[in-house]
């Protein structure tokens, strides 16, 4: 059976000439020098020692073959052409892994790694959009456009993990490359993932290697962990779904909250946390005085003294009596992860169950305004549309547009997250709207979440909010 090694040896023997014995030996010298025999490339001295000749003689043999190639036509090498096609399709890849792929394809007997394939392409005059990048002890083959970003993946991942506690490969790719089509996005993510896998501080939080955490973020700089500490200082333990709702309330998270399954994986990865089924706990007791602000501490103590649930106006009155400023109180009530909103004007604590009877007794039935349940207008003339996300909506990132508002929002709108950060472009055409995939990915959207879109029609800007069923009331009430 003909193999790439046989084809390569025969071609090189014809280039270097000499007797049949010498030409075959000279071909072996070139193959050993460039690592085309399944072993790493060798130095001139190492090859010379192996074949019992001087290092200068090794150099002369290699140069002679190269010069003859440059002066003549490229030799017919169908197996090499096939191997290079397979190699180009595999980029980006880890250099050491390609040899096995070549053997599996049946083209090679021993396997030639990615660095060797790049050498073959260069030696025989083939143009490849690929280069070798060394990151510590790991060698990656990436396309030329990615070379300038080598090493920046880690830097970007560190920034995003510091901001949100965890990050996704898609988010890192978007930060470096902006909006891409689906094919290009997948290709870039593959390259990013390879570089991240070379970093020993990266911990993958799912089997698909989409979500990650970094172990070397300085203490106090991980916002997700800071919020978890706050919540657990009050509750001791909390269901992952409830924790997701809690951490999203922190305005610095920008409405971002990882899915419950990722929070559970995060709890397994962080030494000070643990999980038991769907519940997250700490391995030691957190001090409220250490992790809560003064205002949060007062609010927590007051709510606990009142069976874990209070109406807003009563809680405000008692907190003010304790010396809490009104502005600080309102800010913490709308943004603190330790606060849980049960119903309009009814509040409790994240992870601390209140009696359903107590909640019902404080809940006052409200009459909805006479507009469609999923859309309406704010007092200052902005238009809003609310959705409860389904599995299909999260996956397809396409929304149905209510007929009653369609004429107002047709066209394109700049998307912004709750912090004002650009998140792409929302396109409304006919009965559908799309362009929210980037925002949903950044925010860790899951089926059952509420997506609120608020349109500033004059500026052609659409602000996106993601949360539970209370997000509409909280945003539109501001």
DSSP secondary structure, 382-419, as one string: -EEEEEE--HHHHHH-EEEPPHHHHHHH-EEEEEE-TT
Cα(150)–Cα(136) distance, integer angstroms: 12
Kindly state whether residues 120 and 17 are assigned to the same domain.
yes
The residue among 288, 322, 345 that closes a domain is 288
Name the residue range of residue 328's domain: 290-362
- CB count, 10 Å around CB of 366? 10
Where b means 16+ CB within 10 Å and e means fewer, 288-321 reads eeebbeebbbbbbebbeebebbbbbeebbebbee
Question: What's 309's domain CATH number?
Answer: 1.10.10
Cis ω before 92 (30° cut-off from 0): yes
Kindly state whether residues 325 and 227 are assigned to the same domain.
no
What's the domain count of the chain? Answer: 5
Q: Are 11 and 5 in contact (CB under 8 A)?
A: no
Cα(124)–Cα(143) distance, integer angstroms: 19
Q: Are 141 and 96 in contact (CB under 8 A)?
A: no
Give φ, ψ of 42 to 5 degrees: -110, 155
The residue among 362, 385, 402 that closes a domain is 362
Q: What is the pLDDT of residue 306?
A: 92
Residue 142 counted as domain residue? no
The dihedral formed by the CA atoms of 58, 60, 65 and 67, expressed in degrees to the nearest 10: 150
Kindly state whether residues 6 and 119 are assigned to the same domain.
yes
Task: Please report how many Cα atoms fall inside a 13 Å half-sphere around the Cα of residue 349, on the Cβ side.
Answer: 27
Kindly state whether residues 381 and 468 are assigned to the same domain.
yes
Q: What is the pLDDT of residue 367?
A: 47
Q: Are 427 and 399 in contact (CB under 8 A)?
A: no
Whole-structure pTM value: 0.72
> Residue ranges of the alpha helices (H) in 72-151?
78-90, 98-104, 114-123
Kindly state whether residues 57 and 160 are assigned to the same domain.
no
Residue 472 counted as domain residue? yes
- CB count, 10 Å around CB of 51? 16
Kindly state whether residues 11 and 116 are assigned to the same domain.
yes
Residue 130 counted as domain residue? no
Residue 136 counted as domain residue? no
- CB count, 10 Å around CB of 160? 20
DSSP secondary structure, 279-348, as one string: EEEESSPPPHHHHS-HHHHHHHHHHHHTTTEEEHHHHHHHHHHTT--HHHHHHHHHH-TTEEEEETTEEE
Q: What is the pLDDT of residue 183?
A: 86
In the chain, which stretches have pLDDT less than 70? 1, 17-21, 148-151, 365-373, 478
Kindly state whether residues 237 and 210 are assigned to the same domain.
no
């Amino acid at each position: 059976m003909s193999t790439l090694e046989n084809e390569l040896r025969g071609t090189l023997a014809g280039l270097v000439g000499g007797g049949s014995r010498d030409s075959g030996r000279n071909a072996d010298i070139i193959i050993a020098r460039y690592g085309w025999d399944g072993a790493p490339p060798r130095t001139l001295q190492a090859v010379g020692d192996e074949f019992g000749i001087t290092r200068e003689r090794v150099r002369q043999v290699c140069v002679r073959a190269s010069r003859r190639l440059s002066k003549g036509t490229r030799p017919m090498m169908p197996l090499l052409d096939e191997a290079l096609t397979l190699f180009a399709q595999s980029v980006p890849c880890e250099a050491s892994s390609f040899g096995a792929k070549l053997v599996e394809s049946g083209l090679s007997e021993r396997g030639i790694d990615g660095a060797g394939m790049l050498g073959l392409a260069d030696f025989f005059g083939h143009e490849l959009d690929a280069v070798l990048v060394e990151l510590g002890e790991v060698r990656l083959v990436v396309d030329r456009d990615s070379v300038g970003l080598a090493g920046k993946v880690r830097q970007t991942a560190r920034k995003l993990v510091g901001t949100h506690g965890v990050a996704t490969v898609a988010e890192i790719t978007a930060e470096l490359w902006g909006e891409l089509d689906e094919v290009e996005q997948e290709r870039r993510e593959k390259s990013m993932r390879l570089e991240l896998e070379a970093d020993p501080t990266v911990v993958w939080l799912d089997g698909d290697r989409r979500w990650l955490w970094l172990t070397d973020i300085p203490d106090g700089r991980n916002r997700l962990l800071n919020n978890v500490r706050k919540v657990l200082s009050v509750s001791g333990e909390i269901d992952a779904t409830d924790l997701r709702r809690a951490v999203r309330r922190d305005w610095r998270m920008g409405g971002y909250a990882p899915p419950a399954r990722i929070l559970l994986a995060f709890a397994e990865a962080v030494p000070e946390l643990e999980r038991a089924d769907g519940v997250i706990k700490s391995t030691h007791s957190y001090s409220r005085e250490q992790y809560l602000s003064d205002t949060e501490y007062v609010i927590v103590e007051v709510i606990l003294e009142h069976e874990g649930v209070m109406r807003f106006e009563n809680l405000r009155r008692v907190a003010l009596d304790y010396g809490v400023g009104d502005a600080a109180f309102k800010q913490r009530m709308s943004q603190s992860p330790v606060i849980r909103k049960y119903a309009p004007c009814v509040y409790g604590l994240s992870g601390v169950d209140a009696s359903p009877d107590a909640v019902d007794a404080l809940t006052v039935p409200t009459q909805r305004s006479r507009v469609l349940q999923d859309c309406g207008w704010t007092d200052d003339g902005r238009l809003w549309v609310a959705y409860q996300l389904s599995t299909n909506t999260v996956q397809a990132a396409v929304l149905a547009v209510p007929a009653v508002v369609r004429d107002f929002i047709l066209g394109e709108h700049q998307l912004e997250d709750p912090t004002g950060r650009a998140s792409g472009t929302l396109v409304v055409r006919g009965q559908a709207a799309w362009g929210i995939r980037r925002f949903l990915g950044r925010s860790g959207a899951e089926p059952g979440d509420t997506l609120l879109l608020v349109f500033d029609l004059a500026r052609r800007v659409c602000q996106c909010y993601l949360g539970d069923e209370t997000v509409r009331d909280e945003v539109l009430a501001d």
